[in-house]
Structure 1
Amino acid sequence: MKTKIMLLLLMITTALCTQAFGHELWVNALPIENGLFRADIGYGHAFPAPEPIADDRLHIFKPLVLVTPEKEMAMVQSGENYAYQIKTDLKKETCMVLGFYRPTFWSKGVSGWAQTDRLQRPDANYVEEAVMYGKTIVNINGATDDALIKKPVGMRLEIVPLVNPATVKAGDKFPMQVICDGQGAKLTEVTGCFAGFSDKGYMAFSGRTDLKGLIDFIPLKPGYWIVKAKQALEHQDKKRADEVVLLSTLTFTIME
């Protein structure tokens, strides 16, 4: 009975946390077909399904970036406005795809949310500068190397896996570090869920980093997972916003 109550509290808490985040950013990598490496920007509430990005928000997103052990390559948008691709001859490598949501001011007032700062909307009740990052790990043809993915890529808020998820089994510890502005993000909440877990924003995992930003994430079952971290920092220019809100996600697959 106690376990059921604790699980219910976790689901309620993480649901409220997800609502506070609003839209989230993540990255999905797709199977290589005919020499094309493909990936999608996920933006919304329905992980892992991507959805068309509203016209007035398209400018916020940078093109996806494919990172291999040899180089970084900007991907090309093709088809749906969230879809990207690039020609590749990758055979058996571990690589990453990175997504970036440019710093964007959002204000909240009696008429709702708008893409404005406080200078543009003096009567706003709250203003934040939102910055989001997404990263996915791709193991091509059974690759398990971890040298590339263990290196931070320079995101202000970043989830860095300390081993390759290809070597992690369901129920095992998956060590990670959350970094904020180059330092371990201490006592930062980390949540996660697998595709199909819930259509209401509930999380299957919730924990906090230690004083060095380290955490052992535990994937409960095989499947496609998303891990999230968030930091809200006081904005340096109070004339424009109250806070800078950073959100970072990491997606990966845990095999059978």
Structure 2
Amino acid sequence: MIPVRLFLASLLCLTLGVSNAFAHDLWLNTTAVDSKTVRVEIGYGHDFPNPEPISEKRLGLFTTPKLITPQGEVALKQSGENYSYTADFALQSGSYLAVGNYKPTFWTNGHGGWEMNNRTQRPDAKYCELVSMHTKNIWSVGGDTSTELISKPVNAKMEFIPLVHPSTVKPGQKFPVKILVNGKPASTVEVKATFAGFSDEDCYAFTGRTNLEGVINIIPLKAGHWFAITKHTENHNDLKVCDETIYVSTLTFQINE
């Protein structure tokens, strides 16, 4: 007989592994090159947290990432691999946010698979969705645990709002976050989370749903680099153009021992 826990874990992997043929995860990595240079990398794929070159045909789908600091926003410029951006910035103790976006993009499915267009461009499409993605990376320097900056909304269509600093959360403890859609609490949306090295398949170490106030307690069971994702789907505002509008939001953060 298959142990119940093993069976449920397998079922979770199979269920959560169902995704659109074109789907990729989106995240950001933030690191210090030295005391005066910061690097932000766009991760787009299925090998979190490892970035990979973005295909030329999709490179234009991404905005230039932003680094939000206690002193204000720092401009980043592309440097090295096409997913890598740097800024000259004298690092100080504090908490920072790197934010990025996958621009709203139409996708249709039909005979021949997925194409980057809408129903007016592909009248025989069986399905159409307008997808946008937003991502945040929380980065703490010098052991800072302040939430003033990281808990402020950045006016994305859908976003995670940490209610405590992840650096204060130990493995097995609760990490409360609020999910906003168009600035309002997103109730009963599914949230999934995993950590680097957990699985090379579409499996997650945590899954749950927000309450009516849009809040959920993510429970990171292990120290490491974590990735959380959520999605909201609604009818597109013009069904002659597309069927659904989909907002995806991700958050990456570090959990310490």
- Secondary structure of the corresponding residue to residue 71 of structure 2: coil
- Map 1:96-107 to 2 at 5 A: 96-107=97-108
C-alpha distance after superposition, 1:33-54 (max 9, x if no partner):
2511101001111111111111
Write the letter of the residue equivalent to 2:150.
I
More displaced, 227-236 or 67-76? 67-76
Runs of 4+ in 1 over 3 A off after TM superposition: 18-21
Point out the structure with the larger helix share: 1
TM-score, normalised via structure 1 length: 0.96
- Secondary structure of the corresponding residue to residue 142 of structure 1: coil
Q: Which runs of 5+ in 1 are unaligned?
A: none
Mapped partners of 1:46, 1:179: distance in 2:
26
Mapped partners of 1:75, 1:142: distance in 2:
24
Mapped partners of 1:78, 1:67: distance in 2:
19
Mapped partners of 2:194, 2:32: distance in 1:
22
CA contact (8 A) 1:15 1:203 kept: no
Mapped partners of 2:164, 2:33: distance in 1:
24
Mapped partners of 1:21, 1:109: distance in 2:
13
Mapped partners of 1:63, 1:185: distance in 2:
27
Identity %: 44
- Secondary structure of the corresponding residue to residue 53 of structure 1: coil
Mapped partners of 2:229, 2:89: distance in 1:
29
**RMSD (CA atoms):** 1.3
Q: Could you say which residue in structure 2 is the equivalent of 1:2?
A: 4
- Map 1:1-256 to 2 at 5 A: 1-16=3-18, 18=19, 22-256=23-257
What is the count of residue pairs matched by the alignment?
Answer: 255
Give, in angstroms, the shift of residue 14 of structure 1: 1.8
- Secondary structure of the corresponding residue to residue 104 of structure 1: strand
Write the letter of the residue equivalent to 2:23.
G
Q: Which runs of 5+ in 2 are unaligned?
A: none
CA contact (8 A) 1:40 1:50 kept: yes
TM-score, normalised via structure 2 length: 0.96
Give, in angstroms, the shift of residue 19 of structure 1: 5.4
CA contact (8 A) 2:193 2:228 kept: yes
